[in-house]
Amino acid sequence: MQVLVTGGAGYIGSHVVKQLLEETNHDVCILDNLSTGHLETVETLETIAREAGRGALRFYKMDLADFKAVAKLFMIEKFDAVMHFAASSIVSESVANPLKYYMNNTVNTAHLVSCCTEAGIGKFIFSSTAAVYGEPQEVPVKETTSTEPINPYGMSKLMSETVIRDTAVVNDHFDYVILRYFNVSGADVMASDAVPRIGEWHEPETHLIPLVVKTALGKRDSITVYGEDYDTEDGTCVRDYLHVEDLAAAHLRALEYLGLPLAQGDEPNIFNVGYGHGFSVSQVIETVKKVSSVDFAVEKGKRRAGDPALLIADNQRIENVLKWYARYDDLALICKSALAWEGKIDE
């Protein structure tokens, strides 16, 4: 197959491209405007493609908002499947600039979906998020838990889900898998010398594990814990931290699943991706201190609006239907790979 990966120069998309190149014979085409992704990541993926010697890799520096160029690309290339990662994903920015999120996430997704239906492409895999649940009504969170996003980022993703689902209802040949990711972290663990070749590289960074790792490496003076009075064992928020390699593997399972006749079933193809258990902010900090052997400064901060105490996936559906099982459910391993990667981008 020829797979289009939008956002393949970014954190999660690049790990999926890596697995496609190393574990399948599919050709991969990356579409990315490099707004938050990195050319260095694409170059590393080109090296990985050469070394793997399986499918080919092509890169188009292109903005999804350039509808003419995107439509033309669908005429030049014959895609069999689309994996759509490209998006804006900083919650606070979405609150300050909601239109950026509705345009880049929802409008551009709608256009991409229309290119797929025009070209007769039947396999569409979409990066969604636990943010669609807002402050969830139940934990662990099921796919059937009510979706009530509390910020424009979560809403822009839920609206994209709706576009995809409604399109599938009236287009027999268009099928989809929507993956709702929980807290993605860690970096490439397949490198032969154990130094990740790719990893999380956001500027600015807003996620806990890379921020703690940066603190351990002296790139930040301290790490702040926002709230120690939550109704959890140690009072700090608990999240379902998922290794990016396991998340990437879920996309490969989803692609296989879309090739099966049973993928056309009545149930929406929406799956949580998480481990079904979590760690607190304090546990993450302790784990990074342990794996780095650095005792860095920790500050106390006030609770932040919209931070639920617990956010944990019920992952029964993805295990039962996609036959996806975790391989790297190990917080120390996640933190170690994040630390090794962060040390590398330091150089």
Catalytic residues: 153
Q: How far is the CB of 131 from ligand NAD (least distance, A)?
A: 7
What mask, x for binding ligand NAD by CB under 6 A, covers residues 5 to 44?
A: -xx-xxxxx------------------xxxxxx-------
Which residue, 226 or 260, is less far from ligand NAD as judged by CB? Answer: 226
Query: In this complex, which beta carbon is closest to ligand NAD, that of residue 181 or of residue 230?
Result: 181
Supply angle C-alpha 212, 138, 126, rounded to 5.
65
Stretch that binds ligand NAD, among 85-93, 299-307, 317-325, 331-339 (CB under 6 A): 85-93
315 touching ligand NAD, by CB under 6 A: no
Report which of 153, 219, 213 is spatially closest to residue 185, judged by C-alpha positions: 213
Q: What whole-number distance in Å separates Cα of residue 66 and Cα of residue 64?
A: 5
Q: Say how far apart CA 294 and CA 44 lie, in whole Å.
A: 30
User: Least distance in Å: CB of 202 to ligand NAD?
Assistant: 6
Core vs surface per residue 27-59: b (16+ CB within 10 A) or e: bbbbbbbeebbbeebbebbeebbeebebbebeb
Cβ proximity to ligand NAD, 16 vs 258, nearer residue: 16
| Residues 84, 27: Cα–Cα separation, whole Å | 16
Judge residue 255's burial from the number of C-beta atoms within 10 Å of its C-beta, 0-12 exposed, 13-18 middle, 19 or more buried.
buried
Whether the ω angle into residue 140 lies within 30 degrees of 0, i.e. cis, is: yes
In degrees rounded to 5, what are phi and psi of residue 241? -85, 125
Binding mask 146-175 for ligand NAD (x = CB under 6 A): ------------------------------
Footprint (CB under 6 A) of ligand NAD, residues 205-264: 207
Burial code (b: 16+ CB inside 10 Å, e: under 16) for 197-207 equals bbbbbeeebeb
Give the residue carrying structure tokens 């908002």.
Answer: 65
Q: Which two tokens stand for residue 206?
A: 């807003």
Query: With contacts defined by CB under 6 A, how many residues of the chain interact with ligand NAD?
Result: 29
Nearer to ligand NAD, 39 or 297 (CB): 39
- Interaction pattern, residues 54-83, with ligand NAD; x per rule: CB under 6 A: ---------xxx------------------
24 closest CA partner among 85, 83, 101: 83
- Segment contacting ligand NAD by CB under 6 A, of 84-92, 109-117, 138-146, 251-259: 84-92
Q: Which of residues 88-147 bind ligand NAD (CB under 6 A)?
A: 89, 104, 108, 127, 129
Closest CB 181 distance from ligand NAD, rounded Å: 4
Stretch that binds ligand NAD, among 136-144, 177-185, 222-230, 336-344 (CB under 6 A): 177-185
Beta-bridge partners for 223:
298
Angle, helices 208-216/331-346, rounded to nearest 10 degrees: 60
**Under the rule (CB under 6 A), what is the footprint of ligand NAD?**
6-7, 9-13, 32-37, 63-65, 85-87, 89, 104, 108, 127, 129, 181, 183-184, 202, 207
